[in-house]
Amino acid sequence: MGKQSFDASKEHALQLDQQDELASFRDEFYIKEDSIYLIGNSLGLLSKRAEKSLENLKESWKEYGIGGWTEGENPWFYMSEKLGEMSAPLVGAKPEEVIATGSTTVDLHQLVATFYKPEGKKTKILADELTFPSDIFALQSQLKLKGYEPAEHLVQVKSPDGRIVEEDDIIDAMTDEIALIMLPSVMYRSGQVLDMKRLTEEAHKRGITIGFDLCHSIGALPHALSEWGADFAFWCNYKYVNAGPGSVAGIYVHEKHLGEAPGLAGWFSSDKNKQFDMDHQLTPATTAGAFQIGTPHMLSLAPLKGSLEIFEEAGIDRLRKKSLRLTQYMMDLVEHELKDYGFEIGNPREDHRRGGHVYLEHPEAARICTALKANKVIPDFRNPNGIRLTPAALYNTFEDVWNAIHILKRIMDEEQYKQYENKRGVVA
Ligand SMILES: *Cc1c(COP(=O)(O)O)cnc(C)c1O
């Protein structure tokens, strides 16, 4: 789409929606028609199918009581494995390499406890300075548990501009002191996509184990973890995957590591046929199931089934294509309509480096977000000056994007944001 030929009319937005082969998926979701939900990267909306699979879980509990573990259509005892299998296409893995379990941060603890094996000179962990705080806290505490001082043993690659981290700088930091690398697939603020294939190759050339946090890419873009040879990955399922607040997360471990004992063991790490032997000698599962700890949180797991069925139908490649068109359209509209209002587009522009959201920077971002919410456009604010706008490919429309940007323009023209204080809420 050349700049000269950009059509900024509302009719064009409606036309794009008419041509959208994924448009019907919007009907699968509970959408508030009087508002524009652009925060699917923080908490995805409820779908009718996720509601149904949650409902089915409730019914199986009513019907079978404890028998639900092994009886009924979806025996609970095997659900984590089944949902791992269903998640595998989203991360480009083999079914046995994926398990639905735990929560994001707990899963990171598990993976670092398993794969961080300091030895000789190789004692450090490599991350980046823009990473989500929870991940950093987990890495720091894992270092302390092994008796290392985080200030010295956690190496964080610098960002040149507070938005992105250069792959070249990460590779330069892969010294012979690094034992483990943990990086995000997509930066949670700027939406930068890291080249996971290249980073994995470079890490392995140097004999370093590497894993990724997929929180901002799972359900938004395709991965080929298994083919790339990535050692491990983990993610939440409540953002683009729409499985509900605090839903059970996911772990991937490359098949070459399957059979290794988990760093944090529990009885659900067991080979399923041995688990009820009640032996004090753990026989770990030979699948990614070994990285489970205790009894699965069935109520938080159940909605994932319905959510993943939707992804099976829509296909992650088609969703990524639509997502790129939506975010491109949003950036084009921002440039067309909001030129002189002090906004800067803080996400990378190129398709292969741009995740699922647009990141607008503005000195008044906090109160502009408050004004957007007062106008029923739901963005999220990220300290200190960022507005994340996520048109989710499963349920947002080009018309949503057009309306949101025009509402934003009105807020700026009328200086509506000046009614509010320029500070964030408790959860923002
Ligand atoms: C959302 C997110 C998390 C959240 O972790 P929880 O344990 O689910 O609270 C962690 N890391 C990243 C990069 C995230 O975006």
CATH 3.40.50.720 fits 10-30+316-418, yes or no: no
Please report where in the chains the tokens 């349920």 appear, as a residue: 395
Q: Where in the chain is the domain with CATH 3.40.640.10?
A: 51-313
Averaged over 106-129, what is the pLDDT?
98
Q: Does the pLDDT of residue 422 top 90, yes or no?
A: no
Q: Calculate how far, in angstroms, residue 428's C-alpha sits from the geometric centre of ligand 1.
A: 14
Q: Is the CB of 184 under 6 A from ligand 1?
A: yes
**Cβ–Cβ under 8 Å, residues 160 and 187:** no
Averaged over 358-374, what is the pLDDT?
96
From 42, 103, 183, 236, give the residue whose CB has the most ligand 1 atoms within 8 Å, as the site to mutate: 236
Tell me which of 70-74, 300-304, 382-386 is least confident: 382-386
Q: Does the pLDDT of residue 1 top 50, yes or no?
A: no
From 41, 101, 105, give the residue whose CB has the most ligand 1 atoms within 8 Å, as the site to mutate: 105
CATH topology (fold) of 51-313: Aspartate Aminotransferase; domain 2 (3.40.640)
Q: Calculate how far, in angstroms, residue 133's C-alpha sits from the geometric centre of ligand 1.
A: 9
Q: Calculate how far, in angstroms, residue 235's C-alpha sits from the geometric centre of ligand 1.
A: 7
Averaged over 380-400, what is the pLDDT?
95
Q: Where in the chain is the domain with CATH 3.90.1150.10?
A: 10-30+316-418
Helix axes 398-413, 10-18, angle to 10 degrees: 160
The residue nearest atom 11 of ligand 1, judged by CA position, is 132
pLDDT at 3: 52
pLDDT at 423: 80
Q: Calculate how far, in angstroms, residue 140's C-alpha sits from the geometric centre of ligand 1.
A: 16
What angle is formed at CA 2 by the lines to CA 217 and CA 344, rounded to 5 degrees? Answer: 55
Q: Which tops the pLDDT comparison, 408 or 422?
A: 408
Residue 353: burial class (beta carbons within 10 Å; 0-12, 13-18, 19+): middle
Q: How much is the mean pLDDT over the chain? A: 96
pLDDT at 425: 75
Report d(CA 210, CA 200) in Å as an integer.
6
**Cβ–Cβ under 8 Å, residues 135 and 182:** yes
pLDDT at 283: 96
Report the percentage of the chain scoring pLDDT > 90: 95
Half-sphere exposure of 416 (CA within 13 A, CB side): 16
pLDDT at 43: 98
**Cβ–Cβ under 8 Å, residues 303 and 374:** no
**Cβ–Cβ under 8 Å, residues 303 and 243:** yes
Averaged over 354-366, what is the pLDDT?
97
CA distances to 51, 206, 208, 215, 303 from 107, in Å: 25, 25, 20, 12, 19
Q: Does the pLDDT of residue 2 top 50, yes or no?
A: no
Token pair belonging to 205: 């050339």
Position 424 confidence tier, pLDDT thresholds 50, 70, 90 = confident
Residue 390: burial class (beta carbons within 10 Å; 0-12, 13-18, 19+): buried
Atom of ligand 1 nearest to the CA of 105: 7
Averaged over 314-329, what is the pLDDT?
98
Averaged over 399-423, what is the pLDDT?
95
The residue nearest atom 14 of ligand 1, judged by CA position, is 215
Residue 62 has a CB neighbour count (10 Å cut-off) of: 9
Q: Is the CB of 187 under 6 A from ligand 1?
A: no
Half-sphere exposure of 403 (CA within 13 A, CB side): 17
Q: Does the pLDDT of residue 106 top 60, yes or no?
A: yes
Atom of ligand 1 nearest to the CA of 106: 7
Report d(CA 239, CA 72) in Å as an integer.
29
